[in-house]
Amino acid sequence: MLLFVAQRVLQAIAVMLVVSLLVFVGVYAIGNPVDVMIGPDATQQMRDQLIERYGFDRPLYEQYFSFLWRLLHGDLGTSLVFNMPVLQLMSSRLPATLELTLAAVIGATVIGVPLGIYAGYRPESPLSRLIMSLSILGFSVPTFWIGLVLIFIFAVSLGWLPAGGRGDTVDIFGSQWSFLTLSGLQHLLLPALNLSLFKMALMIRLARAGTREAMLSDTVKYARGLGQSEWTVLRHHVFWLISIPLVTVFGLELGTTLAFAVVTETIFSWPGLGKLIIDSIFMLDRPVMIAYLVVVAFVFVTINLVIDIVYVALDPRLRKASS
C-alpha cells in the first residue's frame, strides 16, 4: 500500500514537471517573458533591468531552472494590476473560493446522494420521476444561466437574498472567512447553490443508477435471504457498493466544479480566485494568468492523487493488486 502511494506521488511530481515545462515553453520560449512581467508602457531602462535580473539573455535551459527555482520558492511573479506578489494576491482570494467550492461540493453530495438512492430504491414512484426530471435540468442547463435565474427570482423579484458580493468576514489565522457570520451565509447561499446544482444532478443520476443495479444484485438478494431489513440492506450493502463509482465521479467532477466556480464567481461578484482570473484575462495581467495555470495544474494533480488513494482504501480487492 505504501509502495502504491509512493508510486503515485512520484507520478504526480512527474506530471507537475511536465506542466511546468509546458508553461515555460509557452511563455518564455515562444512568447516574450518581458512582456509578461511588465506592462507595455515600461521604459527601455526598466526592461533592461528586468532582463538582467531574471537572466532572459541566458540560455533557455538555465532560464528553465531558474524558473523552476522561483516556482518552488513561491515566487509566482508580481501582478501588473494590483502591484503585489501574485502568491500573496492568490492567497488572499483563496478562502473565498474554498468556502464557495466546499459548500457547493458538500451540498451536492449530502443532498444529491440520498435523493439518488431513494430514486433508485423506488424508481417508479412519482417523487423519483420528479427527482430524475429535475436532475436532467440540473446538468443540462448551463451554470451561468441558472445563476442568472436564481438572482432574478431570489434577489430581484423576491428580494430575499443579496444579488452578489461576499458578506461580513471573520478573521481566522490571518485569512478572512465569511461562513461564520449571518450576512456571510446569506451571501454564500445562492452562489453555493448555483455551483452545486451541476454536481448534484450528476450525483443523483449516479446514485440512482448504482442503487438500481445493486438492488437487483445477488449480494442484496442474499442479504434479504438472511432476513436483513431493507434499511440494513441500504445502509450496509447498497451504500458501500455504490460508494466506489460515486467517489470516482466525485473526484472527476471536483475539477469541473472548481472550473465552474470561475463562472459563478463572475456572476455573483464573489471575490475569489475565479473572478480573479477572469478579471486578469481582461486586464491582461499576464503574471497572474500564468501563475493561475501552474497553481490549477498543481491542484488537479493533487486531487487526482488523493482520489486514487481513497479508491484503494475503499476497495479491499485493489489493495491486494497494489501491494
Partner 1 sequence: MNEALLEVRDLATHFFTRNGVIKPVDGVSFRVRRGEVLGLVGESGSGKSVTGFSLLGLIDPPGRIVSGSIRFEGRELVGMKPRELASIRGKRIAMVFQDPTMTLNPLLTVADQMRLALLAHERLSSRAIRDRSVEVLQIVGIPDAANRLGSYPHQFSGGMRQRVSLAIALLHRPPLIVADEPTTALDVSVQAQILSEVKQLVTNLGTSLIWISHDLATVSALADNIAVMYAGRIVESGPTRKVLANPLHPYTNGLLASLPARASRGLPLPFIPGTTPSLLDLPQGCRFAPRCRHADGICATMPELIPHGERAFRCHHPNLEPAA
Partner 2 sequence: MTSRASILALRSFWDEFRENWIAVGALVVVLLIVLAALAAPLITPQDPYDLANLSLMDARRPPGYVGFGGYVHVLGTDAQGRDLYSAILYGLRISLQISLTAGVIALALGAVLGAGAAFVGGRVEAIIMRIVDLQLSFPAVLIALVLAATIGQGRTGLVFALVAAQYAYFARTAHGAASAERGKEYVEAALSIPLPSRTVVLRHILPNCMSPLIVVATIQIASAISLEATLSFLGLGLPPTEPSLGMLISEGFQYMLSGRYWISMYPGIALVILIVAVNLVGDQLRDQLNPRLKR
**Binding site residues, partner 1, CB under 8 A:** 216-219, 221-229, 232, 236-237, 240-241, 314-317, 320
Residue 203 Cβ vs partner 1, minimum distance, rounded to whole Å: 20
Which residues form the interface with partner 2 (CB under 8 A)? 15, 18, 136-137, 139-145, 148-149, 151-152, 155-156, 163, 252-253, 255-256, 258-260, 262-263, 266-267, 278, 281-282, 289, 293, 296-297, 300-301, 304
Short-list 113, 143, 88, CA closest to 259: 143
Locate 16 and state its grid cell.
507537475
Q: Out of partner 1, partner 2, none, which partner does residue 256 contact, by CB within 5 to 8 A per kind?
A: partner 2
Task: State phi, psi for 57 to the nearest 5 degrees.
Answer: -95, 5
| Structural contact between residues 310 and 10, judged by C-beta atoms closer than 8 angstroms | no
Pairing of strands 175-177, 170-172: antiparallel
Q: Out of partner 2, partner 1, none, which partner does residue 140 contact, by CB within 5 to 8 A per kind?
A: partner 2
Residue 323 Cβ vs partner 1, minimum distance, rounded to whole Å: 12
| Structural contact between residues 195 and 100, judged by C-beta atoms closer than 8 angstroms | yes
What is the 8-class DSSP label of residue 152?
A: I
Q: Out of partner 1, partner 2, none, which partner does residue 16 contact, by CB within 5 to 8 A per kind?
A: none
Closer to partner 1 at the Cβ: 58 or 221? 221
Closer to partner 1 at the Cβ: 220 or 294? 220
Residue 219 Cβ vs partner 1, minimum distance, rounded to whole Å: 5
Closer to partner 1 at the Cβ: 91 or 232? 232
SS3 state of residue 290: helix
Alpha-carbon torsion (232, 235, 239, 240), positive or negative? negative
Distance (Å, rounded) from C-alpha 273 to C-alpha 256?
Answer: 15
Q: Out of partner 2, partner 1, none, which partner does residue 315 contact, by CB within 5 to 8 A per kind?
A: partner 1
Closer to partner 1 at the Cβ: 92 or 217? 217
Q: Out of partner 1, partner 2, none, which partner does residue 258 contact, by CB within 5 to 8 A per kind?
A: partner 2
Residue 314 Cβ vs partner 2, minimum distance, rounded to whole Å: 19
**What are 72-77's contacts with CB under 8 Å, separation 24+?**
76/287, 76/290, 76/291, 76/294, 76/295, 77/36, 77/37, 77/287, 77/288, 77/290, 77/291
Distance (Å, rounded) from C-alpha 318 to C-alpha 84?
Answer: 47
Residue 218 Cβ vs partner 1, minimum distance, rounded to whole Å: 4
Closer to partner 1 at the Cβ: 69 or 240? 240
Short-list 243, 209, 192, CA closest to 135: 209
Closer to partner 2 at the Cβ: 64 or 300? 300
Closer to partner 1 at the Cβ: 66 or 217? 217
Q: Out of partner 2, partner 1, none, which partner does residue 61 contact, by CB within 5 to 8 A per kind?
A: none
Residue 222 Cβ vs partner 1, minimum distance, rounded to whole Å: 4
Residue 266 Cβ vs partner 2, minimum distance, rounded to whole Å: 6
For 140, the enclosing helix (H) or strand (E) is: helix 126-140
Q: How far is CA 151 from CA 102, 154, 164, 264, 288, in A?
A: 21, 5, 8, 11, 29
Closer to partner 2 at the Cβ: 169 or 187? 187
Residue 152 Cβ vs partner 2, minimum distance, rounded to whole Å: 6
